[in-house]
Amino acid sequence: MFLSKLILGVPNNISINRNKASLNQLLLNGCQECFWLILKGAQSCSFALSVFVVLAISKHLTILGLPRYDFILLMLILVQASLILFKQESLKELKVICIFHVLGFILEYFKTQPDIGSWVYPELAYSKIAGVPLYSGFMYSAVASFLLQMWRRCSVFLEGYPSFYKAFLIAGAIYLNFFTHHFVTDVRWWLMGILVLLFWQTRIYITPYRNTLSLSVPSCLVLCGLLLWVAENIATYFGAWAYPNQLQAWEIVHWGKVVSWSLLMVVTFVVVAQFKLKNLG
């Protein structure tokens, strides 16, 4: 009886050991992928992190008596130049980044007009045009920089991506709504619904280390919107700009801005995706 139990028990023990080994390997693989995803994400955030550092030190350090906004602009130009010099970004990618400087400045110009007054840049600067400091464009390009670098580092590819015209139509409508909602009905929620339907079957595949992970586009955009909202709170805390309710004392940015950032992220994603699809074939 003992011998039969021993013999019969061997396969079960082997099966348990194999399951444990398989589970341990699965956990190890998961930890490796998470580690490399975080590492490559941090590397891809190099420009965005530099923006925060410059904003922080600009409150305590100046060069030759430059106004703070001018100091920030000078530092961020040097950071951008260093990324090109050390081949963290290519000249082709720089052209894409410049698109967001233009898109960002147009939006900033409109939003800071006295009759709109969405936010303000209260400090004086030589590098202001129509009340908008030129460094503001870097805050938009920082998001594009992150996407461009992350795409390259994690070998991103897309499945089920909509046609060029559909993608740019929704991105253009989202961008225009940031202007038109001050005069006509705000259609952001309709745009969110169309966005979900349009990208419902689109998958983003990333390879942080050895294994490829699959993510849905809508969930990624909302997650990015949340992270950008956190970043916005940090930026306004350091005085990058100020909302009307922050002029006397800093307050946390309203959570509704998560939706705005998620939608603005769509514009960035579509432009970067088109650039990558065109250049990677």
43-64: pLDDT as tens digits: 999 999 999 999 999 988 878 8
Residue-level pLDDT at 30: 83
pTM for the predicted model, two decimal places: 0.88
Cβ-based neighbours of 169, under 8 Å, separated by 6 or more: none
Residue-level pLDDT at 280: 67
How far apart are the C-alpha atoms of 151 and 173, rounded to whole Å? Answer: 25
How far apart are the C-alpha atoms of 124 and 69, rounded to whole Å? Answer: 8
Contact 202, 162 (CB under 8 A): yes
Residue-level pLDDT at 178: 97
Residue-level pLDDT at 3: 43
Residue-level pLDDT at 19: 65
Residue-level pLDDT at 181: 96
The CA angle 96-99-100, to the nearest 5 degrees, is 105
36 burial (CB, 10 Å; 0-12 / 13-18 / 19+) is middle
Please name every residue paired with 213 in a beta bridge, in sequence order, or none if there are none: 206
* Amino acid at position 45, single letter: C
The structure tokens listed for 43 are: 């590397």
Residue-level pLDDT at 24: 75
Q: Which residues of the chain have pLDDT under 70?
A: 1-21, 280-281
Residue-level pLDDT at 20: 64
Contact 149, 271 (CB under 8 A): no
Residue-level pLDDT at 116: 95
Cβ-based neighbours of 44, under 8 Å, separated by 6 or more: 145, 146, 149, 150, 153
Residue-level pLDDT at 84: 96
Residue-level pLDDT at 49: 94
Residue-level pLDDT at 259: 93
Residue-level pLDDT at 62: 79
